[in-house]
Amino acid sequence: MIASWLAGLAMVGVSMTDVSDPPLAWSPSGDWVAFAVATPSVERSLASFPLFPSDEDRDEQEGTHPEDAASGLTFRIWAVRVRDNQALKVAESAYPLTSPAWGPNGRGLAFAQVAEGTPGDDLRWEVVVAFGEDREVIASRPLLGGPGRGHALLAEPVAWEPGGAVLAVPDPDQVGVELIDVKTGAQARRIDNARLVSFSPIGGRLAYFRSRGEQWELVEGDLDLGPIADRPIDLLNIINQPACWTSDGQALLYLKPGNPLAEGQQTRFFSVRVSEQIPRQVKEVESPALPGERILGSYLSVAADGLDQYFVVQFSGRPAAISYHQGSHPLDRIHPYAGMGMIGAPSLSPRGDQLAVRFGGPGIRSLPARITLKDKQLRPLVPDDELRAAWINTLAEVAEPGATTRPRPTRLPFSDEFGEVGPPSATFQRLAGLGNRLTRELGANPVSRTLRVRPIAFFSYLQKDYDAVDRVMPDVARTAMNADQALRMLGLQAQLCLAQGKQREAEAMVEFIRHQNRERIAQVEENGNGGFTVSLDDPETGSWPEELWNAAQAGDETRPGSRLEPPAMPPRAVPLSSPFDAAVTPERGPRSLIEDRTRRADP
C-alpha cells in the first residue's frame, strides 16, 4: 500500500503541485514563529549548487520537481523563538504534512500529517496537537486508495477556532476541509471542494473558498448552523491564503487578482462587511501585469487595528517586494536584496515590529525568514543544516544577473557589471555575506570539502574577495561533471582573471575555449519517415564563449606590474594548439591552471 501510494504521490507532484508559499504562524505572544518545510539532505543540496546556467537549472526554476514528490525530501515542522533563535522540532516525516496553527492560548500547535501505522498497516492521516515536545494524536484514519494531494498539503494551514474547540483540517485525499472536535476527535462537519478556512476572532463564524469550475468562491458561514447558513460572497481567479478577518469580526479582507494569464490585470484589495454581504473594492495594490507576465500569487497581512497593511503580488517577470500601506496611503516598498529573490506569504508579528516571510519561491521550495521592520534586514530561519544548505542554494539562484538572455559561462556577473546588471554591488555583497556565513556554519557538518567549495567560490567572488576564490579554485575545478562543465570551469577562471586585471591570461583561456567548436549545437531528430534531420543553432545566436571573449576584449589595460605571464607549456613531443589543452581532456576532469602554477612553484 505504501509503495502504491508513493507512486500516486509522484504523479500528483507533476499535475497538482500547489505554487502557494506555505504560511508562517506567529504565536499569540509574538515570541515564537512556527512553519513547515520540505528540504533535501545537505549533500543533495550542495551537490546541485547552481554555479553554471543549464537547461536543468531552468527546468527546476520554471517547473515542478517530480523526482522530489516520492523521495528525497524530509518534511518538518519547526517552532523558533525569535529572541534567541532557539528552535524546537515539532514533527519530522518522510511523508507530507500541513502547515501548523497555534492554539488560542499559544500553548498548543496543531497540524496534520501522513504517518505509517504498525508494520503492514496502511498509511494513516493523523491530526496532532503538540505541547512542546509532548504530542497528542486527536484523530486518525486510513488514507483512501487515491493518490492523495501530495505537496499541496504543505501550503494548506490548519485553522484553530478561537474558542479552542474546533480545528479546520485539509482533507489529504481530495480538495475538502474537515472540522474536527478537539476533545473527541470526531468530525463535526465536512466541507467538500473547500480550501483555506479562517475563523472569526470573536468566534462563531468562518470563511473558506469553494471550487467553482475555474474559479474559487469566497463563502462566509455560521459555525454552529452549518451548511444552511453558508453564503457566497465573491469569485476569485487565484487564492493563496485564507481571507483575513478584522479584529472585531465584522468584516473580511481579501485580495482579488485579475485573470492570471491576461496582461493589464491588477490585484485589488476588497472588504466585505458580514452584515451586508456586498464586496467593496478598497484600492489597487500593485501595477498591472505587463505583456508576457503572469500573476503567480498574492498575499496580505494586516495589523490588528487595520491601519498597517502589507501586500505582496508575485509576477513571473519582475521582482516581488512587500508593499507597506498605512490606511489608504502607500508608504514604502520593502525588499532586503533590491529585487533578488521572490518574497511571499508575509505575516505581521503581534507586536507589529517584524514580518515572517517566505523567500525564493513561489511554492514549497520557498524558505522561511523574518524581516525586522526597523532595519529591513532579512534573517533566515535556519534551525538545522538541511535548511542552511537549502538557503545556500537559493541565495546562489537568486543572485544570477538580471540580463538572463545573455549567454554566460557562470551564474556570476562579470566584474564590470556589478551595479549595472540588476541590484548595486553593495546588494550583491550583502547577499554574498549571508551566503558565506551560512557556508561557514556548515563546517561542523560531516560533508566533504568538495561539496562546499563551489559556494565558497561563488560568494567570495560576489564579495570581490578574489584571493579567496583563487585558494579554492583547484578544488572547484575537480567538481566538473562533464565536458561542458569542464569548459565552464575554465571560463570561470578566465572571468576571475578579468576581475583581477590579468588580461593576457584571460584572453589566452578564452581563445582556447572558443576553438573547441562548441558555439553551434547540433540537434538530431526523427523526421517521421524512418530517417533523421540534423539542425544547428542559428549562427547569429551568441554563445557564452563569445560573450566571454567580448568581455575580455572590452577590458581595460592592466596596471603595470599587475599582469601575470601565461603559464608555460608543459614539455610535449607534439606541439599544443594552446597552452591550455591540458586543462580539459576527455580522459580526466579539468585540472586547475592555478593548481599547475602551484605545483611548478613547489621546490
**Nearest residue to 166 (alpha-carbon basis) of 205, 209, 194:** 205
**Structure confidence by residue, pLDDT tens digits, 92-138:** 998 899 999 999 988 899 999 998 876 667 788 999 999 887 889 99
pLDDT at res. 119: 65
pLDDT at res. 222: 93
- At residue 268's C-alpha, the angle toward residues 240 and 28, to 5°, is 50
What three-state secondary structure class fits 591? coil
C-alpha cell at 324: 507597506
77-80: long-range pairs with CB below 8 Å, 24+: 77/34, 77/35, 77/36, 77/37, 77/109, 77/111, 78/34, 78/35, 78/37, 78/368, 78/381, 78/383, 79/27, 79/32, 79/33, 79/34, 79/109, 80/32, 80/33, 80/34, 80/35, 80/381, 80/383
Q: Does an H or E element contain 300, and which?
A: strand 295-302
pLDDT at res. 89: 92
Work out the average pLDDT over 228-249: 93
Q: pTM value?
A: 0.83
Name the band, by pLDDT with cuts 50, 70 and 90, for residue 389. Answer: very high
Tell me: pLDDT of 537 over 60: no
Strand partners, 269: 255, 283
Tell me: pLDDT of 471 over 60: yes
CB contact set of 13 (below 8 Å; sequence gap of 6+): 64, 65, 66, 68, 69, 70, 150, 151
pLDDT at res. 350: 95
**Structure confidence by residue, pLDDT tens digits, 563-585:** 333 333 333 333 334 333 333 33
Tell me: pLDDT of 387 over 60: yes
**Higher per-residue pLDDT: 490 or 290:** 490
- At residue 523's C-alpha, the angle toward residues 517 and 529, to 5°, is 145
Q: Give the least confident one: 4-13, 263-272, 312-321, 384-393.
A: 4-13
Return d(Cα 489, Cα 512) in angstroms, integer.
13
pLDDT at res. 578: 36
Tell me: pLDDT of 439 over 90: yes
What three-state secondary structure class fits 516? coil
CB contact set of 305 (below 8 Å; sequence gap of 6+): 247
Work out the average pLDDT over 549-562: 57
Work out the average pLDDT over 474-480: 86
C-alpha cell at 113: 500529517
Tell me: pLDDT of 384 over 90: yes
**Higher per-residue pLDDT: 166 or 328:** 166
C-alpha cell at 300: 496580505
Tell me: pLDDT of 504 over 50: yes
Tell me: pLDDT of 358 over 50: yes
Are the CB atoms for 410 and 551 separated by under 8 Å?
no
Tell me: pLDDT of 60 over 80: no
Are the CB atoms for 350 and 370 separated by under 8 Å?
no
491 phi, psi to nearest 5 deg: -65, -35
pLDDT at res. 257: 86
- The 3-class SS string of 398-453 reads HCCCCCCCCCCCCCCCCHHHCCCCCCCHHHHHHHHHHHHHHHHHHHHCCCCHHHHH
pLDDT at res. 347: 96
Across 284-304, b (16+ Cβ under 10 Å) vs e yields ebbeebeeebebbbbbbbbbe
**Structure confidence by residue, pLDDT tens digits, 393-435:** 999 999 887 655 678 888 898 888 876 766 788 888 999 999 9
Are the CB atoms for 189 and 226 separated by under 8 Å?
yes
**Higher per-residue pLDDT: 499 or 14:** 499
What is the DSSP secondary-structure string of 270-288? EEEETTT---EEEEE-SPP
Return d(Cα 249, Cα 456) in angstroms, integer.
51
Return d(Cα 320, Cα 336) in angstroms, integer.
11
25: left (phi over 0), alpha (psi -120 to 50) or beta: beta
Work out the average pLDDT over 344-373: 94
Return d(Cα 441, Cα 463) in angstroms, integer.
18
**Structure confidence by residue, pLDDT tens digits, 190-205:** 999 999 999 999 989 9
C-alpha cell at 482: 562533464
10 Å Cβ neighbour count for 63?
Answer: 10
For the chain, what percent of residues have pLDDT higher than 90?
A: 46
**Nearest residue to 369 (alpha-carbon basis) of 347, 397, 385, 400:** 347
Name the band, by pLDDT with cuts 50, 70 and 90, for residue 523. Answer: low
Question: For the CA atoms of 404, 406, 407, 411, what is the dihedral angle to 10 degrees?
Answer: -40
**Structure confidence by residue, pLDDT tens digits, 173-184:** 889 999 999 999
Are the CB atoms for 252 and 244 separated by under 8 Å?
yes
What's the maximum distance between 2 C-alpha atoms anywhere in the chain?
92
